[in-house]
A = this chain, B = another copy of it.
Amino acid sequence: MSSDARAYGDPDTRRRILFATWEAIEEVGADIRLRDVAERARVSRQAVYLHFGDRANLLLALVEFMPETLGFPKLLAHVFAAESGVEMLRRAVVLHSTYNAKIDSVARVLEAAQYQDTALGAAWRDRMTRSRAAHRMIVQRIAEEGRLTDGWTVEDAGDLFYTVTMQSPWRELTCELGWSPKQYARRMTKLLLDSFVTESQA
| Residues of chain B contacted by A29 (CB below 8 angstroms) | 115-116
Bound-state Cα–Cα, A156 to B149, Å: 24
Q: Is A1 in the interface zone, CB < 8 Å from B? A: no
Which residues in A have some Cβ–Cβ distance to B below 8 Å?
Answer: 29-31, 108, 111-112, 115-116, 125, 128, 132, 149, 151-152, 156, 159-160, 162-164, 166-169, 172-173, 176-177, 179, 187-188, 190-192, 194-195
Bound-state Cα–Cα, A191 to B31, Å: 37
Indicate which residue in B31, B156, B169 contacts A163 across the interface (CB closer than 8 Å): B169
Whether the pair B128, A190 counts as a contact (CB closer than 8 A) is no
Q: Return the chain B residue nearest A169 by Cβ.
A: B163
| Residues of chain B contacted by A156 (CB below 8 angstroms) | 187
| Residues of chain B contacted by A191 (CB below 8 angstroms) | 160, 164, 191-192, 195
Bound-state Cα–Cα, A30 to B188, Å: 32
Indicate which residue in B125, B152, B160 contacts A188 across the interface (CB closer than 8 Å): B160
Instruction: Check A164/B159 contact, CB under 8 A, given A29-B116, A30-B116, A176-B128.
Output: no
